[in-house]
Every structure is written in C-alpha cells, then in structure tokens.
Amino acid sequence: MSKSLSYNQTPKEGSTLRLEFFGNIDENSRFPAPKNLNTNNLIIDLNNITMINSLGIRAWTRWMKELPAKVITLEHCTPPIVQQMNIVSGFLPQKAVIESFYVPFYCDHCDTESKVLMLKNKDFTPKTSESEAKVSIKSPIPCSNCDAEREIDTLENKYFAFLKRR
C-alpha cells in the first residue's frame, strides 16, 4: 500500500512560507491550493518523498505552474525527484531554485545503499549565465555502517544533468 501525500505548512520570516511533503506523489495526491500559498518565497522540502509516478508528475507540474510565489526553493530533493527533473521537461518552472539534493551511494563491503546530501555553493554550483554547473563529491565518503569507502550509485553525467540545463 502506498503512503498518501501529506504536508506541513509553516510560516517563516517575512513573506516566506515552508512546505514539507511526506509520502508518494501519485494520482491520489492533493497539493495545497495555490491561492492559499500567497507568498513571495516558497520553500518546498522534499526529504520525505519516496515515489512519484506519471500521474503524480502531471499533477506536480500543473501545481508548480499555478504557484504565485516569485521564488520557489527546493530542498532535500530525493533521487525520485532528481530523476524526474532530468527526464520531464517543465518539471520545474524557471523560478525554481535547487538548494539541496541527495545522491545515491553504495557500499560494496557491507552491501548497503545510502544517500548523501549535496548543498548548493558547497557541493555544487548551479549553471549561471557566466559559468557552467559544477559538482564536487568529496572522496572518499566512508560508509556509516562499516567505514569502508562508498561509491556513487548512479551515472554521474546523467544524474547531474538537471544542473546543466537550468
């Protein structure tokens, strides 16, 4: 059974609003009404999104286009979200800013999968009109279970492609 999409809405300082999503984005997902999100800056935390399917993608893109915020900041983008950013044209509007995202890693020694959080201006810099996007994965990254070195568990040139297109 899939976990239905839910969210917490928290006002921040000034004209900023924070939404934290939980669960799956699918055909049953109900997003907050855009008219209730009348703010200049919207922060969306995707740390607890575990899955998104094709009907969820359609609902997400429609909802994102309707948001009145001038800037939409995405934090803690999980691998399913990053995959859609790479595949689906229009998944993110131009006013969206990626603040952080997870990269999947694997430890061959203890057969463990994990995620490492990449932070903007620390681990990656987005593409600008003056420079190309850059990603810096600091090696080695020790496994939290056994201390052996973890390996990135994705094709880097494909996984980080969304940074180059923005």
- What string of H, E and C letters represents the secondary structure of the chain? CCCCCEEEEEECCCCEEEEEEEEEECCCCCCCCHHHCCCCEEEEEEEEEEEECHHHHHHHHHHHHHCCCCEEEEECECHHHHHHHHHCCCCCCCCEEECEEEEEEEECCCCEEEEEEEEECCCEECCCCCCCCEECCCCCEECCCCCCEEEECCCHHHHCHHHHHC
Query: What average pLDDT does the structure give for the chain?
Result: 92
Per-residue confidence (pLDDT) for residue 61, from 0 to 100? 96
pLDDT above 70 for 166? no
The stretch 77-96 carries a mean pLDDT of 95
CA gyration radius for the chain? 17
The pTM for the full model equals: 0.91
Rounded CA separation 152/28 (Å): 33
**In this structure, are residues 48 and 20 in contact, taking their beta carbons and an 8 Å threshold?**
yes
The stretch 24-42 carries a mean pLDDT of 92
